[in-house]
Structure 1
Amino acid sequence: MNIFTSLFTSRAVATLSALVVILVGCGAGIWQLNRAEQKILLGESLGAKLQMPILNVNEDDLSLEQAAERRILARGRFMKAEAVWLDNRPRPIPEGGTGAAGQSGFYLMMPLKLDGQETILWVNRGWAPRNNENRIELPPVKTVDEVVMIEGVAFPHPGRVYELGQKDDIKASPRIEQNFDLALEAKHYGWKQLPFILRESNSLKKDGLVRNWPSPTNGVDRHYAYAFQWFALALTGFLFWLINGLMKYRRELAANGDRG
């Protein structure tokens, strides 16, 4: 019996199992590396756009392409009654920051009626913790009634979480939602609104909200660690298959020699 027969032909099940482990490990490792690369590219793009001149939505009618990831100024009045609380959102912790990163809470989405216009800009005002004992109790947040000037960064949406089914209508207040759909809001209210949301940047404002937004590159090291673990699993599967095959081959050689 030659070594090829000992390693492959007589060990079809073991070979197939090892192949599955290797393919899964390498595939998952490559996916983790790709996710890290995507975050790095996103961080570089955002960093470059943040250095560009600030835009003012009260002066220019901006498209999503023009505004995306750019710094934005907006002057208007918040519409408290139409607030949307996005559930199951983790506390934002910046790179190198400390805090209860695993703490769950809400993003507060609130429409801002632009000063002197009928146009609406949806603003992600920040994060607030939820009451774990009473899950429908909303956290106390201060909202001024007068016209305010806010600054933030424009995004297509505030981020999405997994949700069963597709929402096609808006329910009564208070609105606690899993996700936020700009098109659905415009259809429901029938108002003119800008095609992006503004993630407010002022982390010093004392209104009960947290705005320590993390960098897009947060978690890159974790992706590299996960990739290493998956590649290590693939290598372990291959070495286990190879070593056991070689040991089997040596036993067969010894057995054949004894019979000779």
Structure 2
Amino acid sequence: MNLFNTLIAKRLVATVSALLVIAIGCGAGIWQINRAETKIALAANLLARQQMPILSANAGPWALEEVSERRMIARGQYIPEAAIWLDNRPRPIPPVGSSSSQSGFYLMMPMRLEGKKDVLWINRGWAPRNNEDREVLPSVKTPSGVVNIEGIVFAHPGKVYELGSSKPNLETGKPRIEQNFDLAAEARLHNWDQSPFILREVEAGIADGLLREWAPLTTGVDRHYAYAFQWFALATCGFLFWLITGLRQYSRNSKNGD
């Protein structure tokens, strides 16, 4: 009996199973590498756009396509009564030595731009959640007068998985705690003119109770490469297992004279 018959013809089930393992392992490994390369490319593009001249929100109107991922300054006054606390947001950069992410809120707050009717939504930063009572919000300071802030323009503050669609909680005296942020819905709800983007505030050394240590887009790249290695290792092990068991069977058959 020749080697081909022993490895393949007589082991069709084992061969098909090995091919499936190899295909799945290689496919998943390539997908993980592509995800890592996509993150690296996005981070490079973001860095390049942030190095362009800083824009002024008050000099608008601006379209999202013009200003996306650009640095921007805004001058205006916060509207704290319309603030939204976005729940289930992990701390962007966990503390050194921590193995788990801490859950908290992003504080979304509208700002009335000085000298304009437009409202610009600001992602002011992250604050930890009270694990005992979800509605006990972190202590945050909000300036009452006109302020200047600097940030980076994004289409939205990021989304989390949500079952169904939630209706805004507009009960007087109760904070708005939401899972996700809908810019268009907020414009309809308040009946005001809004900029078609949000501004994610950068760290300005202000002791207001919020963290703005935003995670870079390349976060997780090493993990993708590690996953890719594991998938490729699985594919290699599947091939070696198929090959070694086939060669052993061929050796036994040769000794028996089959």
Q: TM-score, normalised by structure 2?
A: 0.93
2: distance between equivalents of 1:26 and 1:72?
43
Query: Cα deviation per residue 1:133-192 (whole Å; 9 max; x = unaligned)?
Result: 21222111111111111000000111111222244x422242211111111111222211
| 2:236 pairs with 1:254 | no
Displacement after TM superposition at 1:2 (Å): 2.0
2: distance between equivalents of 1:143 and 1:48?
32
Partner residue, 1:112: 111
Read off the aligned partner of 1:128 and give its amino acid letter: A
Read off the aligned partner of 2:179 and give its amino acid letter: Q
Partner residue, 2:46: 46
Partner residue, 2:186: 185
Read off the aligned partner of 1:6 and give its amino acid letter: T
Q: How does 1:195-206 map to 2 (within 5 A)?
A: 195-206=196-207
Q: Secondary structure at the match of 1:61?
A: coil
Q: Secondary structure at the match of 2:10?
A: helix
Read off the aligned partner of 1:74 and give its amino acid letter: A
1: distance between equivalents of 2:10 and 2:164?
49
Query: Cα deviation per residue 1:87-129 (whole Å; 9 max; x = unaligned)?
Result: 11111229xx736461111111111111122211111100000
Q: Structure 1 residues 28 and 203 mapped into 2: Cα distance closer, same or farther (>3 Å)?
A: farther
Q: Is the 8 A contact 2:154 2:198 kept in 1?
A: yes
Partner residue, 2:34: 34
Partner residue, 2:225: 224
Partner residue, 1:241: 242
Partner residue, 1:62: 62
Q: Secondary structure at the match of 1:8?
A: helix
What stretches of structure 1 move > 6 A for 4+ residues in a row?
none
Q: How does 1:70-149 map to 2 (within 5 A)?
A: 70-93=70-93, 98=96, 100=98, 102-149=101-148
Read off the aligned partner of 2:151 and give its amino acid letter: G
How many residues get paired?
A: 254
Q: Structure 1: 5+ residue runs without aligned partners?
A: none
Partner residue, 2:9: 9
Query: Cα deviation per residue 1:213-255 (whole Å; 9 max; x = unaligned)?
Result: 1211122122111111111111111111111111111111122
Q: Structure 1 residues 120 and 12 mapped into 2: Cα distance closer, same or farther (>3 Å)?
A: same
Q: Structure 2: 5+ residue runs without aligned partners?
A: none
Read off the aligned partner of 1:194 and give its amino acid letter: S
2: distance between equivalents of 1:171 and 1:254?
79
Q: Is the 8 A contact 2:72 2:152 kept in 1?
A: yes
Read off the aligned partner of 1:178 and give its amino acid letter: Q
Q: Secondary structure at the match of 2:136?
A: coil
2: distance between equivalents of 1:134 and 1:55?
40
2: distance between equivalents of 1:188 and 1:160?
20
Cα RMSD after superposing both structures: 1.6
Q: Secondary structure at the match of 2:5?
A: helix
